[in-house]
Amino acid sequence: MITAPGSGQGKSMVTAALARLHRNAGRKVRVFKHGPDYLDPMVLEVASGQPVYQLHPWMTGEAECRWRLTEAAQDADLVLVEGSMGLFDGDPSSADLAKLMGIPALPVIDARGMAQTFGAVALGLASFDPELPVRQVIANRIGSPRHGAMLRESLPEGIELLGAIPRNEAMNIPDRHLGLVQAGEMNDLDQRLDAAADVLAEAGLDGLPLPVTLEADAPEPPPPLLTGVRIAIARDAAFSFIYRANLDLLRAMGAKLEFFSPLADSTLPEVDAIWLPGGYPELHGVTLAGNQPMLDAIRTHYAAGKPMLAECGGLMACVDELMDHDGQIHKLLGLMPGRASMAGRLQALGLQRLSTEQGQLRGHTYHHSRLETDWQPLARTRKLAGTEAEPVFCQNGLVASYFHGYFPSAPELVAGIFRGQAIRPLIDKEPDHA
């Protein structure tokens, strides 16, 4: 488990560079991401050359966490799990996942402006939870070899400095308001990763950890609730926030998936349903608004009452107008009355659930825009932690919300959405944080 005392310590790039370092050495590397994250996995897939899945004991379930890591361990030489936020942040935290799986935590600690206090931070992480083994740490962004030696000397008995990574431009990767820049937008990502891998090799981080044993039973296959259903999925620079597990579930239930680009394509595939996932429509408002043939095709689909799921960025594309960060207004699909406007700060963040008679869909919310609409929601999510619950709008076959769902948590509900069946919400009697 590659973790850190908090966000911004450099663990994402260290995880990606480790994956590329061992891949370049001829090893098969599998990487996973703790928690609901779309952007880090895109980079980690390029780094490892293998698919990346999310692990979260609440959102994906403990059994699925065990199964995915066990399946990966059957033919991989190295399995890495990138944590989220700080090691003990959140509930369940990265530490909880590490303990559940019996894997050690390896903190990456930003050592800038730090000397002997480095040892205190390492000791705190190692002793905070006696059930979690922390035997090694990585010093990141050191200023000199002497600095690295001071950090090594500061460590208490029982904690080893695995490596000290110097400050190097190769270890930086651009980001924006929702996180890392999407992997597909960086033409030089492979070169960046190779250079970062070389930095880690020079820092002595090319060894393998001690082996662990993982065991789990394979899950039962889902029922074939979407046999013969054709689903068009938007996938391009504007709509890209898609869990691999969501695609796997749709296929396992019998759906035929067709991908299209609202930015570049002028027609829709011949399909029964549409999924507009989250992404960055606010960065592509001019192109989206200017692609009238595609807007008309989606409007025709909606007018026919065919099923349509719009998540977060997909929801933003469905309203009359989208106002971007510069205050420019773009006329979009107009399926929902109102406007989505980019705000100056984060509007919502946290794990959430949608409880229905067809199952409890688990997932999260994370957005910088706000919605103004006359539509009344059919249901609202409930928060596990974080910000307020999200409304879920349902009309004429369209299901739209800022909520991002993890489909395997509620296969029957997901199948019903793509078949155009009515969502039957339950009054969620569990308190928040349950």
pLDDT in tens, 296-339: 999 999 999 999 999 999 999 999 999 999 999 999 999 999 99
Question: How many CB atoms sit inside 10 A of residue 396's CB?
Answer: 13
| One domain for residues 393 and 269 | yes
| One domain for residues 291 and 394 | yes
- Give the rounded distance of the alpha carbon of 209 from its chain centre: 26
| One domain for residues 165 and 19 | yes
Q: Per the domain annotation, does 370 fall within a domain?
A: yes
Active site residues: 312
| One domain for residues 194 and 335 | no
Average pLDDT over residues 75-98: 96
- Show Cβ contacts of residue 130 under 8 Å, excluding neighbours closer than 6 positions: none
Length of the chain in terms of residues written: 434
Whole-angstrom Cα distance, residue 364 to residue 262? 24
Helical H segments across 134-207, by residue range: 145-154, 189-202
| One domain for residues 409 and 272 | yes
| One domain for residues 187 and 302 | no
Average pLDDT over residues 52-79: 96
Q: Per the domain annotation, does 410 fall within a domain?
A: yes
| One domain for residues 118 and 253 | no
Q: Per the domain annotation, does 225 fall within a domain?
A: no
159 close to 121: Cβ distance less than 8 angstroms: no
Q: pLDDT, tens digit, for every residue of 268-286?
A: 999 999 999 999 999 999 9
pTM: 0.93
Q: Per the domain annotation, does 208 fall within a domain?
A: no
37 close to 54: Cβ distance less than 8 angstroms: yes
CATH of the domain at 256: 3.40.50.880
Beta bridge partners of 418: none
Count of domains in the chain? 2
CATH of the domain at 49: 3.40.50.300
Helical H segments across 237-291, by residue range: 244-252, 285-290
Quick one: pLDDT at residue 434?
46
Instruction: Residue 267: give the domain boundaries.
Output: 230-418
Q: Per the domain annotation, does 434 fall within a domain?
A: no
